[in-house]
Amino acid sequence: MKKIAVAGAGFSGAVIARELAQAGYRIEVFDARPHVAGNCHTARDAGTGVMTHVYGPHIFHTSNEKVWNYVRQFDEFMPFTNRVKAVTNGHVFSMPINLLTINQFFGKTFSPKEAESFLASLGDQSITDPQTFEEQALRFVGRELYEAFFHGYTKKQWGIHPSELPASILRRLPVRFNYDDNYYASTFQGMPKNGYTEIVARILDHPHIKVHLNTKFERSMDDGYDHIFYSGPVDAWFKHSEGRLGYRTLDFVPERHRGDYQGNPVINYCDEAVPWTRISEHKHFSPWESHDNTLIFKEYSRYCEESDTPYYPIRLAKEKSQLRRYVELASEERKVTFVGRLGTYRYLDMHVTIAEALDVAERFLACRASGQKMPSFVVNPLG
């Protein structure tokens, strides 16, 4: 039986491990942390009993039926629809911007058609080819909505002025001309009844899989493995030879209260003067449970230093050119495939992570069957 090493026990590593174990390979999974599930890790808070999303709120949504059926093999998914609120200038609004937001913000009773032409009249038509986030927002929603909902929030989230961010971040117009306040447009949405860590533990529960927690997988450990799937940071694999790839990190500051703190899972704070970007109240992620006390997290965004947890890849021009050099180095690896959000330096939702991991495993089996070399990347990280 051939031996495979998987670095990282998040969704990427776990799904690849499971698929290959089922195909008859013997898998050793390593994770530097003391738990599985990577950044999707959930755990019960000892103080309140609330199921906590330890590395920030995670809502499962997808339009990919294969992925939806895949995850539901490992836990029951409870009905959950993410409805976000946003506080700006002392008022609460519904997000993403929809007909209720527009009518409340401007004190109107517009129909969908009226709201659409009103917004078109607010947009800055002199910007014909928006290049930056700011231009994109001004072009499509106009100055008032941009300043209320995007300017301060984006500055806090990315640490730079929206005029320095690419328009691609706001490529899809986040405005709806109806009263639909479902944050996601995906076909399926839900929350695992027993949390994400339980799902990942069940994915990894296979007689051919051995999990080593608290164990960082190093390049020097590759002896004796037929292939390595690495879901750690691509720059760390090469000892940051091309410099550290930049990330934003998040600080989650907990508070425990009695009863219901904010009446909603997530509320965004758009004003620049409020230092946190959002507050999440985790018992509302499990609305089928009941708890007398509550746990909230105020979320602060800042530049990720060496000892911090990397969350959002920055991916501006400087990072893209570093990434290009890492991709070149990776292509010289004989038996390593870089996967997942850190291995490919991209923001990936869970459903995309799972879909890609299933593809990676399938590709590996096809390469082995045909005698071809397994590529270093199955998806181009620069794309």
Ligand X SMILES: Cc1cc2nc3c(=O)[nH]c(=O)nc-3n(C[C@H](O)[C@H](O)[C@H](O)COP(=O)(O)OP(=O)(O)OC[C@H]3O[C@@H](n4cnc5c(N)ncnc54)[C@H](O)[C@@H]3O)c2cc1C
Q: Which residues sit at the interface with ligand X, rule CB under 6 A? A: 7-13, 30-33, 38-40, 56-60, 216-217, 231-232, 250, 311-312, 340-342, 348-351, 353
The DSSP bridge partners found for residue 4 are 27, 227
| Nearest-approach distance from CB 129 to ligand X, in angstroms | 31
User: At closest approach, how far in Å is the CB of 329 from ligand X?
Assistant: 16
Known catalytic residue: 26?
no
Residue with smaller CB distance to ligand X, 9 or 115: 9
The answer to whether residue 202 is catalytic is: no
Between 195 and 340, CB nearer to ligand X: 340
Burial of 30 (0-12, 13-18, 19+ CB in 10 A): buried
> 321 in helix, strand or coil?
helix
Nearer to ligand X, 12 or 294 (CB): 12
Q: Which of 146, 183, 235, 278 is catalytic?
A: 278
Asked if 294 and 259 count as a contact pair (C-beta separation under 8 A), the reply is yes
User: Could you tell me the smallest distance in angstroms from the CB atom of residue 289 to ligand X?
Assistant: 19
193 Cβ partners below 8 Å, 6+ apart? 75, 76, 77, 78, 288
Decide if 176 is catalytic. Answer: yes
Closest CA to 270 of 92, 67, 28: 92
Asked about 347 being catalytic, the answer comes back as yes
Active site residue 362: no
User: With respect to ligand X, which residue has the nearer C-beta, 12 or 376?
Assistant: 12
Instruction: Examine the residue annotation and report whether 124 is marked as an active-site residue of this protein.
Output: no
Among residues 124, 222, 349, 359, the one annotated as catalytic is 349
Give me the phi and psi of 236, to 5 degrees please: -65, -35
18, 45, 135, 176: the catalytic one is: 176
User: Catalytic: which of 26, 83, 202, 248?
Assistant: 248
Handedness of CA 145, 151, 157, 163 (dihedral sign): positive
User: Which of 128, 307 has the CB closer to ligand X?
Assistant: 307
Contact 170, 137 (CB under 8 A): yes
> Of 305, 324, 347, 362, which one is the catalytic site residue?
347
Could you confirm whether 363 is annotated as catalytic? no
> Least distance in Å: CB of 68 to ligand X?
12
Cα separation values, 344 from 38, 111, 124, 330, 378, Å: 15, 44, 36, 11, 10
Q: Are strands 266-269 and 84-88 parallel, antiparallel or unpaired?
A: parallel
Which residues are marked as active site? 172, 176, 248, 278, 299, 347, 349
